[in-house]
Amino acid sequence: MRIKPQTFATCLSCIDGRVALPVTYYIKSKHRVAFVDYITEAGMDGFIFQPGALEGILRKADFSFKNHHSSILYIVGHTQCSGNVVDDEQHRKDILGAVERLRRLRPSVAVGGLFVNKEWKAVPVAPLAEQKKNSAG
């Protein structure tokens, strides 16, 4: 199967540069996309999970959906995060909560969650779930 030259996925991730390569590798190999658009925030999983405004992040994600035709969105958390200083189990809970929040806010996008573990490998925490285009949100 050939990769289409202009296929994209979108990733909401921590600014920590250690996670970019394993996450990109996972997404590109799993979904056969050519590119991954990154939107970063220190401790992104905790940032999205906590109540608060997400307008800036959602505006950037919507740009990726509209202009790059991405229909895949991953939220990423990782071990040893300085922006969301919690243990790995809490990161997994934050990722799951963030995924649920974004599934409600962007029901037409397939949303999943990844955790980058102490071996610096991206592992799925919340499976990518196809969303219905007309689902109530």
For the chain, give every domain's residue range: 8-129
Question: What CA–CA distance (Å, rounded) separates 28 from 23?
Answer: 8
Q: What is the pLDDT of residues 22-52, one digit of tens each?
A: 999 999 999 999 999 999 999 999 999 988 8
- Torsion angle, CA of 12/14/20/25, rounded to 10 degrees? -50
- 2-27: average pLDDT: 89
pLDDT at 13 over 90: yes
pTM of the entire predicted model:
0.88
Place 105 in a pLDDT band, splitting at 50, 70 and 90.
very high
Place 135 in a pLDDT band, splitting at 50, 70 and 90.
very low
- Look at the domain 8-129 and name its fold: Beta-carbonic Anhydrase; Chain A (3.40.1050)
